[in-house]
Amino acid sequence: MGEAAEEGGGGGDEGMAALLKWAAHMGMSDSPWPPPTPSISSPVEPSSSCSSYCLGRTLFVSCFSEAGGRGLAAARDLVKGELILRVPRKALFTTDSAMADEKFASCVKRHQHRLSPTQMLIVCLLAEVEKGRCSRWYPYLVQLPRSYNTLANFTRFEVQALQVEDAIWVSEKAVVIAKSEWKEAVGLMQDLDLKPQLLTFRSWLWASATISSRTLHIPWDSAGCLCPVGDLFNYAAPDEDDSPEMSDSKPETTSLSIQLLEHSSQEGTVHNAAQPDGFLQRLTDGGYDENMNSYCFYARKRYKKGEQVLLGYGTYTNLELLEHYGFVLKENPNDKAFIELKAEVCTSSSWPRDSLYIQHDGVPSFALLCALRLWATPMNLRRTVGNRIYSGSMVSVENEVLIMKWLAKHCTDILARLKTTIGEDGMLWSTIDKMIDHPSCLSSTVVLPRTSELREFFEAHGLTVEAGDYNGMPVKAGRSLERWKYAIQWRLAYKKMLQGCVFYCENLICCLSPQHF
């Protein structure tokens, strides 16, 4: 989850050390379970660092500059399905834990019927922040990011930078929803007598993004929980090994959850590193274990010592990742490009609209191909060939060539209507990346792409492109630059999917042409 935001300011390494000590005091541990039995010849003596911190035996905190920022790495070789971290219930921040205060609970209950569980948890977080050092979770709270890059935090300039109408609509909707939920909760926050700065929409956005990007699923509250240390894991997009066919359990699908583990300890079995991978196919990445009274995390695959240990939150497109978590992936096998389609295409079949898209590799989805094949078939023949189409077969070479030509032209037309090209986006993204990560490399002698978009950004923040002073960029401008970079990265991936679809269609047309028969 480290990619989602600028990291918190709890004193850097000292703040992290304080968090890990507090976590150990709260009972969190990455020690193997059950603990290894020491032999007489080589007794196991935990090091002083391991005994005072909750990490060090299985995991350690590290920085992965090219893969999510701060995250957790393997302290030793790990086996798939091995238990790697336990966080006891008392360490989880939930609505229940905040309601332990009777005065607080009494006030909250008067508003409970008007607010969603997620709104309640957001208010609880803001109330906990107000306690400052008196909060039980203070070492954790000071390590939370100061800002987030979720869509609700995007300015109008950053929203427009997405270019694609569907993405702009999703972004604008996220802001509208956030404002509506904040207004609904203001009454409760005022009754709790929160400080004025915690009543602002800006504070609400921060708390809302914290809940959206960091909570894990728990069975007793749909809002989820904040899990100290457990939320340091970065995201891994599910691959073929994580498909439903590989598991008997049914993963949770809420946008705020890690796939719920149907841990077989419920059947009286405890997993350990000695068990074979085949025995562990029912495991996903983590879940709350009633028997252990803890949130438990498991290795999703084999890891070598030093490798980053990742979690899969579920299958998300890049736009969904940006909306809920505040980052996008350079390579996301679950990404999709939705394109505007004729009404007749959408109504020609029973496929839902959200199943009609172009896949990350440029190949049309199965549903989109079926819909196009049916649309290109004369009305009087659709019933006859319907079963053939829904089985995934071509109607005819002529039909297939027709829809491939139409789809290729349609994608080309969409690309032509967008304000910038793939090449321009790539150059602009690279420039912004350097401005963020290596500002000292950008001197006044470096020629920047003089796009109107770049100039508009600088002028909006009272800067000039010619100044070349990127080291002294204001914090607000720097954060906006980060969000703008994600917007460009998203639209670049979208355009590449459309371009890939054009190539796919043209290659298929070539293969189906008469000279190949």
Positive or negative torsion for Cα 14, 16, 17, 22: positive
- The more confidently predicted of residues 311 and 517 is 311
Q: Grade residue 425 by pLDDT with cuts at 50, 70 and 90.
A: very high
- Please choose, from the candidates 296, 297, 337, the residue with its C-alpha nearest in 3D space to the C-alpha of residue 319: 337
Residue 472 in this model has a pLDDT that exceeds 70: no
The 10s digit of each residue's pLDDT in 361-406 is 999 999 999 999 999 999 888 888 888 888 888 899 999 999 999 9
Mean pLDDT score of the chain: 83
CA triple 129-131-133, angle to 5 deg: 100
The 10s digit of each residue's pLDDT in 227-245 is 999 999 998 877 645 543 3
Backbone angles phi, psi at 492, to 5 degrees: -65, -45
pTM for the predicted model, two decimal places: 0.84
Determine contact, residues 185/119, Cβ cutoff 8 Å. Answer: yes
The CATH number for 2-37+45-88+228-324, chosen from 3.30.360.10, 2.170.270.10, 2.40.50.140, 3.20.20.140, is: 2.170.270.10
Number of helices (H) and strands (E), helices first, in the chain? 17, 13
Mean pLDDT check: name the lowest of 18-27, 280-289, 365-374, 481-490.
280-289
The 10s digit of each residue's pLDDT in 450-468 is 568 888 888 888 887 665 5
pLDDT at 266: 34
Q: Grade residue 340 by pLDDT with cuts at 50, 70 and 90.
A: very high
pLDDT at 248: 35
pLDDT at 454: 85
Structure tokens, 356: 């009609």
3-state secondary structure 403-422: HHHHHHHHHHHHHHHCCCCH
Q: Grade residue 442 by pLDDT with cuts at 50, 70 and 90.
A: low
Structure tokens, 414: 């969409």
pLDDT at 465: 65
CA quadruple 486, 489, 495, 496: dihedral, nearest 10: -150
- Extents of the domains making up the chain: 2-37+45-88+228-324, 95-138+146-211, 335-517
- Please choose, from the candidates 251, 299, 414, the residue with its C-alpha nearest in 3D space to the C-alpha of residue 59: 299
Give the C-alpha distances (Å, rounded to integers) separating 134 from 71, 90, 131, 141, 145.
28, 17, 5, 11, 20
pLDDT at 179: 98
In this structure, the strands spanning 358-359 and 336-337 are antiparallel
pLDDT at 439: 64
pLDDT at 253: 29
Residue 41 in this model has a pLDDT that exceeds 60: no
CA triple 36-41-45, angle to 5 deg: 50
Mean pLDDT, rounded, for 155-170:
96
What CATH fold (topology level) applies to the domain 335-517?
Answer: set domain protein methyltransferase, domain 2 (3.90.1420)
Mean pLDDT, rounded, for 464-489:
81
pLDDT at 193: 94
Give the C-alpha distances (Å, rounded to integers) separating 399 from 365, 385, 499, 502.
17, 12, 22, 17
pLDDT at 502: 98
pLDDT at 9: 53
Positive or negative torsion for Cα 28, 33, 36, 37: positive
Classify residue 462 as left (phi > 0), alpha (psi -120 to 50) or beta.
left
